[in-house]
Structure 1
Amino acid sequence: MELIASSQAIKSTEKANFDGFYLGDQAMKTSYLKLDGLMCDGCSEIIERATQKLPGVRRCQVNLDLERAEIEYDPQLMSLETIQKALKGVGYSAEPINETNHLTE
């Protein structure tokens, strides 16, 4: 059995999604969505949980004040349209934001 450093193990697990398969960084895409219908931290949690259950979604971070979500996902396993449909299914509309202007829109 080969032993590895704990820091290497942590990095490996951080790059695995909930199913435990590796999602190489080069395959990941980050998209930004303008969210409609956010009212509280509970809304943010619902959105984060709903997206993180989707195959290929590595991370979702919601900014309640800006009504935006930053979603990191593997486009070979998940499409932005499917993420939008999942959010609509839990009661929120989400429209893509131009990735180069996401900080100023």
Structure 2
Amino acid sequence: MEKTIIIGIDGMRCNSCTANVERELSGLPGVKLVQVDLELEEARVTFDESLVDTQLFDKTIASLGFSVRNITQG
């Protein structure tokens, strides 16, 4: 089933940061769409929840040196 969430991300400082987050999240299995907003410090992610667990988003973002502030329904 397709689901959209909003991930609050701390630590992004520039467009390169947002591009890295977008690229890495987009590469995860089941992810359909990723939109990262530097000003709002968040990523809107649409994905197939039968193929990916939200914990993987947290781990992926942490691997880039950022931290997840919160995850809410989009």
Matched with 2:62 is 88
CA contact (8 A) 1:84 1:95 kept: no
Q: Answer 1 or 2: which has greater strand percent.
A: 2
Q: Specify the SS of the correspondent of 2:73.
A: coil
Q: Take 2:48 and 2:69, find their aligned partners in 1: how far apart are those partners?
A: 19
Q: Take 1:80 and 1:53, find their aligned partners in 2: how far apart are those partners?
A: 14
Matched with 1:30 is 4
Q: State the shift of 1:91 in Å.
A: 1.2
Calculate the TM-score normalised by the size of structure 1. 0.66
Q: Take 1:67 and 1:50, find their aligned partners in 2: how far apart are those partners?
A: 16
Matched with 1:61 is 35
CA RMSD across the alignment: 1.3
Deviation by residue 1:8-65 (Cα, 9 ceiling, x = unmatched)? xxxxxxxxxxxxxxxxxxx210011110101000000000001011100111111100
Unaligned runs of 5+ in 2: none
Calculate the TM-score normalised by the size of structure 2. 0.91
Q: Specify the SS of the correspondent of 2:57.
A: helix
CA contact (8 A) 1:31 1:96 kept: no
**Does residue 42 of the first structure (1) align with residue 16 of the second (2)?**
yes
Q: State the shift of 1:83 in Å.
A: 1.0
Matched with 1:52 is 26
